[in-house]
Amino acid sequence: METTNASPPVIDPARIAPVLADLGLAPEALEGGERSAASGESQALLLSVAADSNASRAVRTDLLREADERLSETGALLLLIEGRRPQSELVEWRNALWPLFHAGAIYELDDSGCRRRTLAGSASLTADSGANGSAPATLMFLRRREHVMSPDATVEKFDQNAAGWNGEPASPGYPHFRWMRRFVGCFESLPANARVLDFGCGAGWCGIEAAKQFDARELCFFDPSPEMVKIAEENARANGISQATGRTGFGEIPPFPAEGEAPFDAVISSGVISFAPDATLWLEGLVGTVAPGGTLVIGDIQGTSRGMQRRRRQKALLPARELNAQSASEVRAGLEARGFHYQSGAGYQLTRPFPEAMHVNETKLKGLLTYPLLWSNQLAATTNRRLGFPGPDAFDSWVMSFVREA
């Protein structure tokens, strides 16, 4: 395995020029070993694996150690694997590098050009790689998990996608979008006149549904993204909730309750813990927002579902939160250790092939299957809550309710 030790790797710079240009990296960042002024660590590190390497555990362990030692906290790791590599091998590399590093893009190089694959899709970057006659290669672009899931990166991503996460009322998927928020927000009956906190509110729909259903005295909500908080405030006003207060902040150090404010009668958190770099710190922040004797409703994606496990086996590129997901049993154990008593739980959003069918319904069938798919999910979620069937691995999401010790 060739690496950027004392000298640069034996790689023609023209061969990866389209990749460097796409990532906004100067060639000298690799060739000259650009370093962080504070630590002397690399800002961009290129490591390569020979075509005849079997990507053994020893090879991957050595590469991971070198990358961890040499790359800065915000640096870019470029892993060049000689030859055309099957998806299964790229999955092995992804698994070997996670949770230290997260793969954000894959570039396929040959003498005809360069093609980029990301979660958003694929695209040809150039008709000519600049290195005619060179053997094919696959390059994985990675960053440290802590950087990908850092506060700054989270705010930037949420701000950019805020409008899309609000849901589009005219879209075929909107009835299902709203049902999921209502299912979580109204999962547990809340006392009338309660003070409710939406912990990591997004567009605010879970808290809004709870406040409307149970006649809450006050609704508070927060999110790391100022854009999301703005949308949540607009949604609350549009739904007739006058006593609504939004703030920005993170779950690890929540902005509610502030000094002099009381914790809440009910706290709802949906789809948030999987974004937390440290689930322990996040749970500690959550605990302090719930009043003694108060109700907690929490939900998130189920990383151990059949569909999620299949995606992990077949796809080298996955969202960081999907790889970072906590199972319902893990979260339940963490909360019970902190003085919460489990009340009930359920899975919702049936796993494969339901997400795929919903995508086809929205993109190709003009909503023809919207309600049959919605009714199937509603029936399955209700049956799971009441009878425990089908099991948790049949759902891509879970929700649970707890009561904090008085």
Distance of CA 46 to the CA centre of its chain: 26
Contact indicator for 258, 251 with CB cutoff of 8 Å: no
> What sign does the CA torsion over 66, 72, 73, 78 have?
negative
pLDDT score of 119 more than 90? yes
Q: What is the mean pLDDT of the chain?
A: 90
Look up tokens 């059949």; give the residue.
306
Both 206 and 111 in a single domain?
no
pLDDT score of 128 more than 70? no
Higher pLDDT, 12 or 260: 260
Look up tokens 């999620």; give the residue.
308
Domain boundary among the residues 148, 180, 195 is at: 148
Other beta carbons within 10 Å of 20 = 19
What CATH number did the domain enclosing 38 receive?
A: 3.40.50
> Model's pTM, two decimal places?
0.91
Q: What is the pLDDT of residue 50?
A: 76
Both 272 and 374 in a single domain?
yes
CA separation for the pair 59, 62 (Å, rounded) = 5
**Mean pLDDT, rounded, for 296-318:** 96
β strands within 179-256, DSSP E: 195-199, 218-223, 244-248
Question: Cβ contacts of residue 97 below 8 Å, gap of 6+?
Answer: 60, 64, 67, 79, 103, 142
Residue 270 bridge partners (DSSP): 299
3-state secondary structure of 236: helix
**Mean pLDDT, rounded, for 139-164:** 94
pLDDT per position as a tens digit, 188-229: 999 889 999 999 999 999 999 999 999 999 999 999 999 999
250's tokens: 């993170």
Both 256 and 391 in a single domain?
yes
CA separation for the pair 154, 209 (Å, rounded) = 25
Question: Cβ contacts of residue 332 below 8 Å, gap of 6+?
Answer: 342, 345, 400
Both 62 and 107 in a single domain?
yes
Maximum distance among all Cα pairs of the chain, rounded to whole angstroms: 73
Domain boundary among the residues 148, 165, 197 is at: 148
Residue 271, domain extent: 152-404
CA separation for the pair 159, 126 (Å, rounded) = 30
Look up tokens 């359920």; give the residue.
346
- Has residue 8 been placed in a domain? no
Contact indicator for 144, 129 with CB cutoff of 8 Å: no
Both 340 and 251 in a single domain?
yes
Domain boundary among the residues 128, 148, 168 is at: 148
- Has residue 400 been placed in a domain? yes
What CATH number did the domain enclosing 352 receive?
A: 3.40.50.150
Contact indicator for 70, 102 with CB cutoff of 8 Å: no
3-state secondary structure of 149: coil
Both 392 and 286 in a single domain?
yes
